[in-house]
Structure 1
Amino acid sequence: MTTIPIYGQARRGARRTGGFLVVTALLALAVIYAVTQQAPRVSVRPGPVVDLAAHATASFPDRGGSWLATTVRADRLTLWGRLAARPGGETRVVDAAPGAADESMRESQTTSTLLASMLTRRAAVGARGAQIVACAPDSPAWRAGLRPGDVIVRVDGRLVQRPADLDVPAAGAVRLLVAPGVRGREGVTSLAPAREAELALPADDSLARAAGVRLASPRVAAFTLPGVQGPSAGLMMTLAHLDALTPGRLNGGRVIAGTGSVGLSGQVGAVSEVGLKMRGASRARAQVFFVPAPQYRQAAQAASGRVTIVPVSTVQDAVVWLCAHGGVSTACPSAP
Structure 2
Amino acid sequence: MSIGVWSLVVALAALVALTFIPTQYVIQRPGPVYDTLGTAPSADGAQVPLIEVEGTRTYETGGALNLTTVQLMGNRERTPSWLELATAWLDPSRAVVPIDVAFPQGLTAEERDERNAALMVNSQHEATAAALIELGYDVGATVEVVEVIEDSPSVGVLEVGDVILAVDGRPLESAADLRAEIQKGKGEAVELTLQDGDGERTVTITPEETTDDAGETVWLIGVAPTTEYDFPVDVTIQLDNVGGSSAGMMFTLGIIDTLTPGQLNGGKDVAGTGTIDASGAVGPIGGIRQKLYGARDAGADYFLAPETNCDEVVGHVPDGLEVFSTGTLDESLEILEVIAEGGDTSELPTCTAP
Q: TM-score, normalised by structure 1?
A: 0.59
Q: Tell whether 2:30 aligns with 1:46.
A: yes
Which is worse superposed, 280-289 or 98-107?
98-107
Which residue pairs with 1:151 in the alignment? 141
Letter in 1 for 2:141: V
In structure 2, C-alpha distance between the alignment counterparts of 1:250 and 1:68, rounded to whole Å:
13
Shift of 1:82: 4.3
Deviation at 1:81, TM superposition (A): 3.1
Is residue 243 of structure 2 the alignment partner of residue 248 of structure 1?
Answer: no
**Aligned partners of 1:194 and 1:265 also within 8 Å:** no
* Equivalent residue, structure 2, for 1:204: 198
* CA–CA separation in structure 1 for the residues paired with 2:322 and 2:339: 11
Query: How far apart, CA to CA, are the structure 1 residues paired with 2:339 and 2:267?
Result: 11
- The DSSP-based 3-state class of the residue aligned with 1:226 is coil
Give the AA of the match of 2:80: G
- Does the alignment pair 1:262 with 2:257? no
Tell me which of 52, 69, 72 is aligned to 2:70: 72
| 2:291 aligned partner | 277
Query: SS state of the match for residue 248, structure 1?
Result: coil
Alignment of 1:76-115 (within 5 A): 76-77=74-75, 78=77, 81-85=80-84, 86=86, 87=88, 88-89=90-91, 90-96=93-99, 97=102, 98=104, 100-115=115-130
1:235 correspondence with 2:249: yes
- Computing the radius of gyration from Cα coordinates, the structure with the larger value is 1
Task: Label 1:220 to 1:74 Cα distance change in 2 as closer, same or farther (>3 A).
Answer: farther
Structure 1 counterpart SS, 2:131:
helix
Q: Cα offset for 1:304?
A: 3.0
| Distance in 1 of aligned mates of 2:124 and 2:146 | 20
Give 3-state SS (helix, strand or coil) of 1:178's partner: coil
Letter matched to residue 68 of structure 1: N
Distance, in Å, in 1 between the alignment partners of 2:312 and 2:173 is 35
Distance 1:199 1:245, change over 3 A: farther
C-alpha separation between the residues in 2 aligned to 1:320 and 1:121? 17
For residue 225 of structure 1, report the CA deviation from its aligned partner. 2.0
Cα offsets for 1:264-310 (capped at 9, x unmatched)? 32221111111111011111121210001133353353333432211
1:167–1:301 distance in 2 versus 1, CA, 3 Å: closer
Question: Equivalences for 1:1-336 in 2 at 5 Å?
Answer: 41-53=25-37, 54-55=39-40, 56-58=50-52, 61-77=59-75, 78=77, 81-85=80-84, 86=86, 87=88, 88-89=90-91, 90-96=93-99, 97=102, 98=104, 100-122=115-137, 149-155=139-145, 177-178=172-173, 204=198, 218=231, 219-296=233-310, 298-326=312-340
Compared CA separation, residues 80 and 237, structure 1 to 2 (3 A)? closer
TM-score normalized by the length of structure 2: 0.57
Q: Distance in 1 between matches of 2:69 and 2:120?
A: 12
- Alpha carbon RMSD of aligned pairs, Å? 4.1
Question: One-letter code of the match for 1:95?
Answer: P
- Does structure 2 conserve the Cα–Cα contact (< 8 Å) formed by 1:41 and 1:82? no
Q: Secondary structure at the match of 2:32?
A: strand
Pick closer, same or farther for the CA change 1:41–1:153 going to 2, 3 Å: farther
| Partner AA of 1:204 in structure 2 | D
Q: 1:305 to 1:154 in 2, by over 3 A?
A: same
Aligned partner of 1:244: which letter? T
Answer whether contact 2:162 2:196 (CA < 8 A) is retained.
no
CA contact (8 A) 1:72 1:276 kept: yes
One-letter amino acid of the structure 2 residue matched with residue 295 of structure 1: N
CA distance in structure 1 between the partners assigned to 2:52 and 2:124 by the alignment: 14
In structure 2, the CA distance between the partners of 1:112 and 1:158, relative to structure 1 (3 Å rule), is: farther
Secondary structure, in 3 states, of the residue corresponding to 2:238? coil
> Aligned with 2:173: secondary structure?
strand
Larger RCO of the pair (alpha carbons < 8 Å, separation 6+): 2
* Number of residue pairs the alignment of both structures matches: 244
Match of 2:212 in 1: none
Letter in 1 for 2:136: R
Mean CA deviation greater in 215-224 or 280-289: 215-224
Aligned residue for 2:236, secondary structure, equals: coil
Distance 1:308 1:102 in 2: 31
Unaligned ranges ≥5, structure 1: 1-30, 124-148, 160-165, 180-192, 208-214, 329-336
Q: Name stretches of at least 5 consecutive residues in structure 2 with no aligned partner.
A: 1-16, 41-49, 105-111, 150-158, 182-191, 202-227, 343-354
Q: Equivalents in 2 of 1:272, 1:317: separation in Å? A: 21
